[in-house]
Amino acid sequence: MTGIINEPGQVTNVVWYRNVKVLRRVGQTLALVAVVSLVLWLFNNLVSSMNRLNIGTDFGFLSRPTQFQIPFDDGFDPRSPVRDMVLVGVKNTFLSAFFGIVLASVLGLIIGVARLSSNWLVAKTATVYVETLRNIPPLIVIIFFGAAIFTFGPFPVLSEAVQIKFPGRSDNLLILSNTRWGVPSLAAGPGAGAFWMFLAGAVLAAVAAFVWRTRLHERTGAPLQRMRYPLGAFVVVALAGWLLVGDAYAVSWPVVRASARSIQGGFVLNYGFMALTLALGMYTASHIAEIIRGSILAVPKGQSEAANAIALSSFQRYRYVVLPQALRIAVPPVISQYLNLVKNTSLGVAVAYAEITSLTVSSIGNGRPAPQSILVLMAVYLTFSLTISFLLNIYNRRIQLVER
């Protein structure tokens, strides 16, 4: 039999059902067909059910009026269209997620390091904190914080609110009640625009200082000091702007209204926001603490020993040797925790916080079409998550440890 072994360039004829290339193509095609037909069948099912029930399948509901008032939001007009409600929900979700992430990161870092402390009490307290919060579902933590701190907590009703005065003045530094807290804020005055131009100039000055120190270091080897000079430049220009403009911002003090049912002025924090942010910050901190602890332990022991050998203090060892290496390892898992926190803000309905999921639930309960509303909701969370992971992945790539 000739042709068992091919000459170069000679093609053997194999039956198509034994030709591996063909089989692979067929397999992939069948898989694709199966997935696509499943999705199309589901979609067709949904559309025909909605048509049978006479529910609209378009997105026109976004232009119709919302018809309900948003909790703790004085400025919202119920006649505005649903897309305005969506924007308010996105803003509220962002606020809670942002402050939650900040709290979780700071607290997580502290507790993660504390767990490795040589002080027995500190280490044990941190362990108890982590093991308790990590093992309770986030919804329970949120409801607990809402109930324990606010609903059944020590704060009085607004009519008898605790008003802590600013020392030396009769204005309120802090108003505490079981529904709202008030803190002073800055209200823009007539000079605000001019002041912001000075701030822009201050940023430019900081960048210029940064570049100057870099060039100076390259030329003469002078210490980089790229934190203090730009910071100093920023502060000097901003301060100059503040003093020159004079009436850029005035302090707005919070005052309990005469009706004793809400707070006017200042920055008002409602209890839903505080309960949700605090609960999620502490819950996610317990996860981040474990990540930090793991990444500190992943730094080779020789590094700590070498740091001790050159007589660095414990703080210096962490600040200059261990943490710079540990935090680089920690970034990818911490990104996941941040995304989890953003998604967990959807539990805000349990504490009457008007974030996007709770507003969507209200909207669906009041007659808006459910499939389209949920699609909008999914798009919101997808945008949040993809943006956060995109930005933080850029950061991660820049600081990753490169193995040679």
Q: List interacting residues with another protein (CB under 8 A).
A: 21-22, 25-26, 28-30, 32-33, 36-37, 40-41, 44, 48-56, 67-72, 74, 78, 147, 150-152, 157, 178-179, 257, 259, 261-262, 271, 349-350, 352, 354, 358, 361-362, 364-370
Nearer to another protein by Cβ, of 7 and 74: the residue is 74
Nearer to another protein by Cβ, of 64 and 169: the residue is 64
Q: CB-based contacts of 82: which residues, under 8 Å, 6+ apart?
A: 61, 62, 63, 64, 65, 66, 363, 368
The CA-atom distances, in angstroms, between 346 and each of 9, 93, 114, 160, 351 are: 63, 8, 30, 32, 11
What count of other Cβ atoms lies within 10 Å of the Cβ of residue 150?
22
Cα gap 184→265, rounded to integer Å: 8
Cα gap 390→393, rounded to integer Å: 5
Nearer to another protein by Cβ, of 32 and 239: the residue is 32
Please tell me whether residue 400 adopts helix, strand or coil conformation. coil
User: DSSP for 106-170?
Assistant: HHHHHHHHHHT-SSHHHHHHHHHHHHHHHTS-HHHHHHHHIIIIIISSSPPPGGG-EEEEPTTSS
Nearer to another protein by Cβ, of 141 and 354: the residue is 354
**Residue 25 beta carbon to another protein: minimum distance, rounded to whole angstroms:** 6
**Residue 83 beta carbon to another protein: minimum distance, rounded to whole angstroms:** 18
Q: Kindly state the helix (H) or strand (E) to which residue 250 belongs, with its residue range.
A: strand 249-252
**Residue 174 beta carbon to another protein: minimum distance, rounded to whole angstroms:** 19
**Residue 194 beta carbon to another protein: minimum distance, rounded to whole angstroms:** 35
Cα gap 230→227, rounded to integer Å: 6
Nearer to another protein by Cβ, of 213 and 368: the residue is 368
Residues in the chain: 404
Q: Are 355 and 89 in contact (CB under 8 A)?
A: yes
- Written as six digits, the tokens of 395 are 């950061």
> Looking up tokens 């979780």, which residue turns up?
104
Nearer to another protein by Cβ, of 1 and 11: the residue is 11
**SS3 readout for 51-79:** HHCCCCCCCHHHHCECCCCCCCCCCCCCC
**Residue 78 beta carbon to another protein: minimum distance, rounded to whole angstroms:** 5
Nearer to another protein by Cβ, of 172 and 363: the residue is 363
**Residue 285 beta carbon to another protein: minimum distance, rounded to whole angstroms:** 26
**Residue 128 beta carbon to another protein: minimum distance, rounded to whole angstroms:** 29
**Residue 260 beta carbon to another protein: minimum distance, rounded to whole angstroms:** 9
Nearer to another protein by Cβ, of 52 and 301: the residue is 52
H helical segments located in 221-255: 228-245
